[in-house]
């Protein structure tokens, strides 16, 4: 039996407003990560990396302090409450897997304890650093 192939999907270019919105969101997210990194440096953390990619997912910030290696997810929302509730269980699992993958590939990080943290940002509010975020 001969198998019929599907026609390739037609890809339409994104609308200009959609591209502009996506670009603004990217810049806003990048700025939020820099704010979070600065906040963590003030708290005594050492920033090891920004936007680290692995097969399991992307890590916004990788920081360490003492014997703790923290995978930090940065959430910027209109309200602090929305930012605090923005980390979903599926994303949490991806962060754990990505953190393990990063730690596994770097011998200097293998002795450190892995922890998932979150920095929540909202306009005109002080950043909030949550240590050891649990899966909800």
Q: Is residue 113 part of a domain?
A: yes
pLDDT over 90 (residue 30): no
pTM, two decimals, is 0.79
Instruction: Identify the CATH number of the domain in which residue 79 sits.
Output: 3.40.1350.10
Q: Is residue 7 part of a domain?
A: no
Q: What percent of the chain has pLDDT over 70?
A: 87
Q: Is residue 104 part of a domain?
A: yes
pLDDT over 80 (residue 119): yes
Q: State residue 92's pLDDT score.
A: 92
Number of domains in the chain: 1
Q: State residue 45's pLDDT score.
A: 96
Q: Is residue 9 part of a domain?
A: no
- 129, 84 contact by CB (below 8 A): no
Residue 79 structural domain: 16-130
Q: Is residue 53 part of a domain?
A: yes
Q: State residue 54's pLDDT score.
A: 86
The residues with which 75 forms a beta bridge, in sequence order, are: 120
Q: State residue 48's pLDDT score.
A: 95
User: How far, in Å, CA of 53 to CA of 97, rounded?
Assistant: 11
Q: Is residue 33 part of a domain?
A: yes
Q: What percent of the chain has pLDDT over 90?
A: 57
Calculate the alpha carbon distances from 37 to 13, 44, 45, 48, 128 in Å: 35, 11, 9, 10, 12
């Amino acid at each position: 039996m001969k198998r019929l192939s599907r026609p390739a999907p037609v890809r339409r270019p994104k609308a200009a407003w959609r591209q502009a919105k996506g670009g603004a969101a990217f810049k806003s997210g990048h700025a939020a990560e820099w704010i979070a990194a600065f906040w963590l440096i003030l708290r005594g953390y050492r920033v090891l990396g920004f936007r680290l990619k692995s097969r399991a997912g992307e890590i916004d910030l990788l920081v360490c302090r003492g014997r703790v290696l923290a995978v930090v997810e940065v959430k910027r929302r209109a309200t602090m409450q929305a930012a605090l509730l923005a980390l979903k269980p599926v994303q949490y699992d991806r962060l754990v897997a990505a953190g393990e993958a990063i730690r596994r590939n770097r011998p200097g990080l293998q002795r450190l304890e892995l922890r998932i943290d979150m920095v929540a940002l909202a306009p005109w509010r002080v950043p909030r650093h949550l240590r050891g975020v649990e899966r909800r």
